[in-house]
């Protein structure tokens, strides 16, 4: 028997493929992600090509797949988090053509030719993006689950070229909820990054 | 199952042949879907160029069915649209405003739809396209009840049309919720006031949402304000009897009585805010 070092994620992915852990790996997806035998037939697969973090990625997917599920379940980019899956929490925030959107509310099938940036594409090699560095410096998180969404939302905010003070940062970051309540530190991290980003 | 046409005619043809739920911004579509799978056909209208953008035409302003909240906020529009812009900024966070459409907000027909009161105050109409051609309905005849519109089978919204009648009026929007952000309105008010050269009210339009099955204007109040010298403010002129069209309910967010009191207060504040604001911020 070959001995291999598995990461937890590879383990889940590989066992899911053989069916062993389908219930675990599939539980994060929408109900259509893992159709049971009794479900209606899966519709025609759609092909789209998106520019993801600077690289062209061709996808073949059920047209009902959200961008969030496509990122997490097909491309294994799990940095983008699934919180509410209904546009209420902001944990899945990504940049679509440079603009902030909730990835759970966008069908991947409509994104042919569009540009998507996720948390995985923010750093420049080993050089953290100033926002990432500032979140670490200011402890802009506790559990960390909302953090990729917070950082991507802040990255979008810095692109929008608005004048930013504490009040306006809170206003423009209102689409991102942090249930640990790290807001004061998130605001100071963004203030710092806005000065040097 | 999933169709993404590029023209209105293709979309109408698809609605006629296979039906389906119309998907624009998706912010209500997926929220109401919850964890249930999408089983019926979906008509994605996001690739139809004719539905995009906001255009200032000779006698009206045309807000395409796919125009988003953030496009409204960014558009160069007269001060009478400030209330609509303020409402747009209250719909979810910026991520939602980048996706959600104003037309979708109307089609979703929630009694708490933030886009409705400002558009009622603007005398907006809805342009519909269907198998029998296009037709136009005033907004108050388009939304018929909670989650109910005048869309006939096979019809879709093409645009929201606002006549260019009140461009000099000032407008303001106020929303009360249980918290500051990301909240469903308990009461919201859109007010629009135009003054004559002597500082008297030449025209006033007030609409209230979340206090009746469909948001509505307050015609008795609008008449009472006509000709009033605005110098001393307008808030004191709002009387209980002006609120007669409102039929608030008790629900998880507030009692009916609280809604009525809050509406009266917010109407007064919104009217006075129309007097104090500069023509364009």
Domain ranges of chain A: 44-121, 124-197
pLDDT computed for residue A100 by the predictor: 97
Percentage of chain B exceeding pLDDT 90: 89
Contacts of B26 in chain A (CB under 8 A): 105-107
Q: Find the closest chain A residue to B39 by CA distance.
A: A40
pLDDT computed for residue B276 by the predictor: 82
User: What is the pLDDT confidence band of residue B146, given thresholds at 50, 70 and 90?
Assistant: very high
Is A32 or A135 the better-scoring residue by pLDDT?
A135
- Report pTM: 0.88
A-proximal residues of B, 8-47, CB under 8 Å: 23, 25-27, 29-31, 34-39, 42, 44, 46-47
Evaluate whether B17 touches B57 at the Cβ level (below 8 Å): no
Looking at the complex, does the CB of residue A102 fall below 8 Å from at least one CB of chain B?
Answer: yes
pLDDT computed for residue A32 by the predictor: 46
Quick one: average pLDDT of B96-106? 97
User: What is the pLDDT confidence band of residue B15, given thresholds at 50, 70 and 90?
Assistant: very high
Q: How far apart are alpha carbons B190 and B83 in whole angstroms?
A: 6
Q: How far apart are alpha carbons B43 and A111 in whole angstroms?
A: 15
CA A81 vs. chain centroid, Å, equals 5
ipTM of this predicted complex? 0.91
Q: How far is A91 from chain B (nearest CA, A)?
A: 11
Contacts of B36 in chain A (CB under 8 A): 31
The H or E element containing residue A163 is none
What pLDDT digit, counting tens, does each position of A23-65 carry?
333 344 444 444 455 555 556 789 999 999 999 999 999 999 9
Quick one: average pLDDT of B129-150? 97
| Longest alpha-carbon distance in chain A | 61
User: Between chains, do A90 and B93 touch, taking CB under 8 Å as contact?
Assistant: yes
User: Between chains, do B35 and A85 touch, taking CB under 8 Å as contact?
Assistant: yes
Q: How far is B36 from chain A (nearest CA, A)?
A: 6
List the single range of A71-85, B38-52, B60-74, B266-280 with lowest mean pLDDT.
Answer: B266-280
pLDDT computed for residue A39 by the predictor: 54
Percentage of chain A exceeding pLDDT 90: 75
Q: How far apart are alpha carbons A10 and A21 in whole angstroms?
A: 12
Looking at the complex, does the CB of residue A88 fall below 8 Å from at least one CB of chain B?
Answer: yes
| Longest alpha-carbon distance in chain B | 61
User: What is the pLDDT confidence band of residue A157, given thresholds at 50, 70 and 90?
Assistant: very high
CATH architecture of the domain formed by A124-197: Orthogonal Bundle (1.10)
Question: What are the sequence ranges of the domains in chain B?
Answer: 169-276
Write the CA distances from A77 to A71, A135, B172, integer angstroms.
5, 21, 44
pLDDT computed for residue A31 by the predictor: 44
pLDDT at residue B121 tops 70: yes
What pLDDT digit, counting tens, does each position of B233-266 carry?
999 999 999 999 999 999 999 999 999 999 999 9
pLDDT computed for residue B1 by the predictor: 84
Share in percent of chain A as helix, strand, coil (round to 5): 40, 15, 45
pLDDT computed for residue A19 by the predictor: 41
Looking at the complex, does the CB of residue A176 fall below 8 Å from at least one CB of chain B?
Answer: yes
pLDDT at residue B101 tops 90: yes
Q: How far apart are alpha carbons B165 and B43 in whole angstroms?
A: 35
Question: Could you please report the per-residue DSSP string of B118-174?
Answer: HHHHTT-EEEEEETTEEEEEEHHHHEEETTEE-PPTT-EEEEEEEETT-TT-EEEEE
Count CB-CB contacts under 10 A for residue A41. Answer: 7
Q: How far is A157 from chain B (nearest CA, A)?
A: 9
Place of tokens 């209250």: B90
What pLDDT digit, counting tens, does each position of A63-120 carry?
999 999 999 999 999 999 999 999 999 999 999 999 999 999 999 999 999 999 999 9
User: What is the pLDDT confidence band of residue B278, given thresholds at 50, 70 and 90?
Assistant: low
Quick one: average pLDDT of B13-18? 95
What pLDDT digit, counting tens, does each position of B128-137 carry?
999 999 999 9
CATH class of B169-276: alpha beta
The phi-psi region of residue B129 (left if phi > 0; otherwise alpha if psi is between -120 and 50; otherwise beta) is beta
pLDDT computed for residue A45 by the predictor: 86
Return the closest-CA partner of residue B140 out of B58, B268, B245.
Answer: B245
- Tokens representing residue A185 in the block: 């530190």
Looking at the complex, does the CB of residue B95 fall below 8 Å from at least one CB of chain A?
Answer: yes
Average pLDDT, chain B: 94
Place of tokens 């909820």: A177
Report the Cα–Cα distance between both ends of chain A, in Å, rounded.
51
Return the closest-CA partner of residue A87 out of A104, A72, A64.
Answer: A104
Burial of A147 (0-12, 13-18, 19+ CB in 10 A): buried
Q: How far apart are alpha carbons B3 and B5 in whole angstroms?
A: 6
Q: What is the dotted CATH code of the domain comprising A44-121?
A: 3.10.20.30
Q: What is the Cβ-side half-sphere exposure of residue A180, based on CA atoms within 13 angstroms?
A: 14
Quick one: average pLDDT of B115-121? 97
- CB contacts < 8 A, A to B, total 97
Return the closest-CA partner of residue B134 out of B223, B9, B275, B16.
Answer: B9
Contacts of A172 in chain B (CB under 8 A): 94
pLDDT computed for residue B179 by the predictor: 82
**How much is the CA Rg of chain A, to the nearest whole Å?**
18
Q: How far apart are alpha carbons B187 and B248 in whole angstroms?
A: 9
Is B192 or A44 the better-scoring residue by pLDDT?
B192
Evaluate whether B209 touches B111 at the Cβ level (below 8 Å): yes
pLDDT at residue B168 tops 90: no
Return the closest-CA partner of residue A95 out of B47, B68, B95.
Answer: B95
């Amino acid at each position: 028997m070959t001995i291999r070092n598995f990461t937890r994620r590879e383990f889940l992915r590989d066992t899911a493929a053989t069916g062993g852990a389908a219930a675990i790996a599939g539980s994060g997806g929408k109900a259509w992600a893992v159709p049971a035998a009794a479900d209606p037939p899966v519709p025609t697969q759609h092909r789209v090509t998106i520019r993801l973090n600077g690289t062209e990625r061709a996808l073949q997917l059920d047209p009902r797949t959200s961008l969030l599920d496509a990122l997490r379940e097909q491309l294994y980019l799990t940095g983008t988090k699934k919180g509410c899956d209904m546009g209420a929490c902001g944990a899945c925030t990504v940049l679509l053509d440079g603009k902030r959107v909730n990835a759970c509310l966008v069908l991947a099938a409509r994104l042919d030719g569009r540009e998507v940036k996720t948390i995985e594409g923010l750093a420049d090699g080993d050089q953290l993006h100033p926002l990432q560095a500032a979140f670490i410096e200011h402890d802009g998180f506790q559990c960390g689950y909302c953090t990729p969404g917070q950082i991507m939302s802040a990255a979008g905010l810095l692109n929008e070229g608005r004048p930013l003070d504490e009040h306006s940062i809170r206003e423009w970051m209102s689409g991102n909820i942090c249930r640990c309540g790290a807001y004061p530190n998130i605001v100071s991290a963004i203030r710092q990054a806005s000065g040097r980003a | 199952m999933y169709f993404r046409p590029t023209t209105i005619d293709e979309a109408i043809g698809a609605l006629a042949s296979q039906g389906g739920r119309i998907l624009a911004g998706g912010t209500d579509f997926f929220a109401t879907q919850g964890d249930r799978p999408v089983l019926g056909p979906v008509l994605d209208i996001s690739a139809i160029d004719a539905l995009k953008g906001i255009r200032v035409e000779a006698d009206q302003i045309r807000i395409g069915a796919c125009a988003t909240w953030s496009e409204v906020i960014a558009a160069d529009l007269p001060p009478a649209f400030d209330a609509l812009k303020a409402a747009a900024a209250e719909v979810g966070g910026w991520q939602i405003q980048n996706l959600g459409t104003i037309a979708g907000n109307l089609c979703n027909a929630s009694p708490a739809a933030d886009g409705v009161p400002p558009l009622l105050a603007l005398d907006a109409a809805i342009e519909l396209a269907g198998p029998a051609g296009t037709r136009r309905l005033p907004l108050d005849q388009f939304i018929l009840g909670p989650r109910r519109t005048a869309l006939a089978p096979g019809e879709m919204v093409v645009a929201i049309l606002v006549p260019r009648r009140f461009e000099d009026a000032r407008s303001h929007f106020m929303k009360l919720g249980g918290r500051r952000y990301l909240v469903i309105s308990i009461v919201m008010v859109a007010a629009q006031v135009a003054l004559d050269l002597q500082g008297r009210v030449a025209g006033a339009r007030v609409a209230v949402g979340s206090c009746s099955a469909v948001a509505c204007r307050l015609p008795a109040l609008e008449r009472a304000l006509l000709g009033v010298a605005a110098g001393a403010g307008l808030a004191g002129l709002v009387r209980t009897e002006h609120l007669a069209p409102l039929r608030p309910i008790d629900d998880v967010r507030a009692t009916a009585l609280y809604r009525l009191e809050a509406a009266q207060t917010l109407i007064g504040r919104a009217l006075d805010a129309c007097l104090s604001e500069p023509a364009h911020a």
